[in-house]
Structure 1
Amino acid sequence: MKKILQQLFEHKTLTRQQAKEIMLNIAKGTSNDVELTAFMTVYLMRSITIAELQGFRDGLLELAVPVDLNGYKVMDIVGTGGDGKNTFNISTLSCLVVAGAGKKVAKHGNYGATSVSGASNVMETLGYKFKNNSDGLKKELDEAGFTFLHAPLFHPALKAVATIRKNIGFRTFFNMLGPMVNPAKPEYQLVGVYNLEMARVYNYLLQQEGKPFTIIHGLDGYDEISLTNDTKVITNAGEKVLSAEQIGKRVVSPVDLHGGATVEEAAKIFLKILKGEGTWAQNAVVLANAAMALNCMGEYGQYDDAYDAAVESLESGKAYQAFQKLIALQ
């Protein structure tokens, strides 16, 4: 690692193979916390290259605990995190709305490294037990239409750096990796990114995968559709900028998206929205993200049809029922 750090401090970049080997070594625990902190800090000071990102991903996927979901074509809605906005758990709620609409969702998530409450924090607080055995995950998909993959249980390298990431408290390149290493290998992905440079990198990588995807970036810095401003939307077919009115029928204020000061507060907000008792602004944001995900699956004639399906899922209680079924299986 010292040799690698020296190379990086001289403003050199890593090859894909070098990056892969580093990730394999991180998982083996061959570097100490100080070296790993220095390594992550490099990427806070300069942009990561596509070759480096691909190599890190290769390493994570090679070591990942395999998942067999019985041939289900699943959706994942995931943000890179690291936008510093401390919003409520929009992606996870949107996933449950998609499940309530009758689709299969395998959500990849982790504890919050840069926010108060990540997806894993809120799921755990509300009674979900993390697991990495395919039978348990399949049963959840069969009965609830939703399963949750807690990243450190599937990726040894993520477990190795969890404490360091929390202590640093800034987004690191691991934020960028999260959406690309879902061990369920989802057929459809809605990926939220915190800046346009990241959107371009993801566009390049996801085009190579050849699966349906949608990348979203709130132009005022959100890694999800926030409805506080316009949203950049990139799909296999191209890119466009859509207004809050086009996607969510209304504009909301940043203060409406606050995720609470503690994990317990975040969990309360989460349940309230899921039960259909959220504010109109909270509901609108969840529905917009869920609708964009449903639209990505290609089964709806146009976006408005997908939006109607999301509204029906939340307002009829089907999204909440999916969650109740999931928790009953724990």
Structure 2
Amino acid sequence: MKDILDYLFEGKSLSKAQAQDVLTRVGEGQFSESEIAALLTVYRMRKIKGEEMAGFRQALLNLCLPVDFSEFNTIDVVGTGGDGKNTFNISTLSCFVLAGAGYKVTKHGNYGLSSVSGSSNMFEYFGYQFSNNHDKLRRELDEAGITFFHAPLFHPAMKYVGPVRKALKVRTIFNIMGPIINPSSPKNQLVGVSDLEIMDLYDQAMRDSDQNYRIVHSLDGYDEVSLTASARYASKSGVYDLAPEDFGFPSYHPDELSGGESVDDAAKIFVRILEGDGTAAQKHVVVANAALGIQCLKPEESLLNCVAEAMEALESKKALAVFKKLMQR
């Protein structure tokens, strides 16, 4: 680690292979907490490069407990958090809409970071049993069309980093790694990011992978399509901007996307939307994100057709049926 730190302190950056090697050794417990803290501090002092992000990502995927669903054409919709917007669970709801529309969803998530309720908070609230049992996860994917990976159960190597992150009490590179280390490596992914720098990093890290992806950021700061401003997304084919009207929706005020003050508040909003009683803003923002997910799966499809497909899955209560089936398992 001394050699690595000396190299980095000279202002140099790691290649993808070097970054992968370093983080693999961190995840194998080869370094002390002080050494790990010094490494993390480097990336507080300067920005991480795309090659480094790609290497760190590959190391964490290699170290995780893998889930092989390669026979399915799966998708994950997930955000980095950290946007400070405290929205309701838009990405998670979008996943149920996608499953309701007939797509296979492998949702990866954790407890909330910048909001009162992350995806794990929501699944736990409704009684979902976190598990890394492959048979259970496959059965859920087969029968409900969706399954959930609670991140801590799949990334045991993070136990060496957890105490350091807790002691440092500042954001580190690991705060932005979660969305791109889904243990099933889904073939399609819609990732929301909290700023354009992270969008570029993710684009560089994912560009050489086999994944279809869309990395989205609303230009007023949301890590998803918010319909409060135009959104920008990056994919292998380029970078594009989408205004609310491109989805066929009006613009909404940020207050209309609030997740409330507690997990209980967020859960009530969650169920209300699935039951068809959400506000227009709540319903439309979920549909917009689900539609972008559908277009990630079917890039040849027009966005408005994808919106119509997502809307039908929500309004017909197919998304609600998926939710009930999963939570009853």
Name the TM-score, length of structure 1 as normaliser.
Answer: 0.91
Q: 1:160-171 maps to which residues of 2 (within 5 A)?
A: 160-162=160-162, 165=165, 171=171
1:248 CA drift (Å): 5.2
TM superposition shift of 1:80:
1.7
Task: Check 1:42–1:299 CA distance in 2 against 1; reply closer, same or farther (3 A cut).
Answer: closer
Cα displacement string for residues 130-181 of structure 1 (whole angstroms, at most 9, x for unaligned residues) = 1112211110011110000111111113344446546766543223322221
The C-alpha deviation readout for 1:33-77, integer Å capped at 9, x for no partner, is: 555445334323321012221221121111111212261110111
Larger mean CA deviation between 86-95 and 252-261 belongs to 252-261
| Structure-2 change in CA distance of 1:77 and 1:171 (3 Å) | farther
Q: Which residue of 2 aligns with 1:199?
A: 199
Determine the structure 1 residue equivalent to 2:58: 58
Paired amino acid for 2:310 = A
Residue 110 of structure 2 is matched in structure 1 by 110
Q: Which amino acid aligns with 1:69?
A: F
User: How many pairs are equivalent?
Assistant: 329
Is contact 2:215–2:234 with CA below 8 Å preserved after alignment? yes
**Structure 2 residue 56 is the aligned partner of structure 1 residue 87:** no
Q: Deviations over 1:220-247 (max 9, x none)?
A: 1111001111111223322221111212
Moved more, 53-62 or 299-308: 299-308
User: Does the CA-based 8 Å contact 2:53-2:201 persist in structure 1?
Assistant: no
Aligned-pair Cα RMSD in Å: 2.3
Match of 1:101 in 2: 101
C-alpha contact 1:88 1:259 (8 A) present in aligned 2: yes
Is it true that 1:298 corresponds to 2:298 in the alignment?
Answer: yes
* Aligned residues with identical type, % of pairs: 49
C-alpha separation in 1, matches of 2:88 and 2:284: 13
Structure 2 segments unaligned to the other structure (5+ residues) = none
* Distance (Å, rounded) in 1 between the aligned partners of 2:173 and 2:14: 14
Secondary structure (helix, strand or coil) at the match of 1:325 reads: helix
Match of 1:228 in 2: 228
Alignment of 1:238-277 (within 5 A): 238-247=238-247, 249-277=249-277
User: 1:2, CA displacement in angstroms?
Assistant: 5.7
Secondary structure of 2:122's aligned partner: helix
- Structure-2 change in CA distance of 1:61 and 1:268 (3 Å): same
Which 4+ residue blocks in structure 1 deviate beyond 6 angstroms? none
Q: TM-score under structure 2 normalisation?
A: 0.91
Give 1:272 shift: 2.0
Evaluate the alpha carbon distance shift between residue 121 and residue 42 of structure 1 in structure 2; reply closer, same or farther with a 3 A threshold.
farther
- Report if aligned partners of 1:248, 1:287 keep a CA contact under 8 Å in 2: no
- SS of 1:209's partner is coil
Aligned runs of 1:24-43 on 2, under 5 Å? 24-31=24-31, 33=33, 35-43=35-43
